[in-house]
Chains A and B, each alone.
Chain A
Amino acid sequence: MTADKAEIARQFIETIPHSQALGMRITEIGDGTAQIEMPYDPRFIGDPETGVIHGGAVSALMDTCGGAAVMSHPRAPAGTATINLRIDYMRPATPGQTIVARAECYHITRSVAFVRATALDDDTDRPVATATGAFTVEQGTVEEGK
């Protein structure tokens, strides 16, 4: 794994219009793992009575973080797209707190990358949500295993 590759993945993720619109920031990336945070924003509220962020915004965060983890994997040659994603909502995120997603690409073949992810707020002992997903492995020009 080269620092260049992580940098390329970081730059790519950070220029995604929708991720920018949701205020996502990459706090860690490399070797098939990524951590992305999404600060609390009243525009993303799903339940006005409680101020809890909508599940859809959490899904977008999980999806972006999963893709970033795949892109940063040493054996992922180029880009990636989500094949499928399952999200389990354990509890509502605490209003006012940043949501931090952490994803790990734990297995990769020539065609498919398998990812698991967790979303946390300040109470890191109790996850807000977990996700598992399968992502495509796009064949690029980089040599396998390099």
Chain B
Amino acid sequence: MMTRPAPEPVQVVKQRRDAALSALVNGMPYVSWLGVQFDRRGDELTAVLPFHEALIGNPNLPAIHGGVTAAFLEITAMVTLNWTWLWGDVESGVLDAEEMAQGKLPRLPKTIDFTVDYLRSGLPRDAYARAFVTRSGRRYASVRAEAWQDNRDRPLAQATAHFLMPRKD
């Protein structure tokens, strides 16, 4: 008779995934400085940027700084690519999530270029973003990202980015 291994306890799964994600996000001081957080549902990530005064770019409107929107999308694209790329190794145990959390990260992709289109002015309230890995090859990856505020179908900005993948020695 075929025996299936017992499924992992839910808290073990959650702890591993949250530790790996936290290692990817909180390892970057700039991400914490900006205040970007990540919401995880299974393998799906949503970046959240809670509004604060230091994000303002035009005090007269007021509106969020275009540089903030760009940085937010760039962080979303980068973290989502890293997450997608390492997911298999985290799940299989090739990468130890606890060691990652202590700063032992594998070499990560580098941004080659980043293009952002501004679609609406950023209002003084929270923003959300998701990224999609369009293609992840051996050497290069192409990622698109979208940010919104009140309505998911009224994007604030969209972006595409290319990344150089680390060599697997």
Contact = CB atoms under 8 A, between A and B. Distances in A.
Nearest to A15: B59
Contact of B54 (A18, A56, A67): A18
A111 interface: no
A85 interface: yes
B165 to A, nearest CB: 15
Given A83-B117, A86-B115, A89-B112, A44 B103 contact: no
A128 interface: no
B19 interface: no
B74 A55 contact: yes
Q: How large is the interface on A (under 10, 10 to 19, 20 to 34, 35 or more residues)?
A: 35 or more
A63 B66 contact: yes
A34 to B, nearest CB: 14
Interface residues of B, number: 36
A56 B113 CA distance: 12
Interface stretch (B25-33, B90-98, B143-151): B25-33
B28 A60 contact: no
B55 to A, nearest CB: 6
Nearest to B118: A82
Given A48-B103, A61-B67, A85 B115 contact: yes
A48 B104 CA distance: 11
Contact of B74 (A18, A59, A79, A82): A59
Contacts of B134: none
Interface in B94-128: 103, 105, 110-118, 121
27 contacts: A16-B59, A17-B55, A18-B54, A18-B67, A19-B57, A21-B54, A43-B30, A43-B33, A45-B30, A46-B29, A47-B28, A55-B74, A55-B111, A56-B67, A56-B70, A60-B65, A60-B66, A60-B71, A64-B65, A64-B67, A81-B58, A81-B118, A82-B118, A83-B118, A87-B114, A89-B112, A89-B114
Interface of B: 27-31, 33-34, 53-59, 65-68, 70-72, 74-75, 78, 103, 105, 110-118, 121
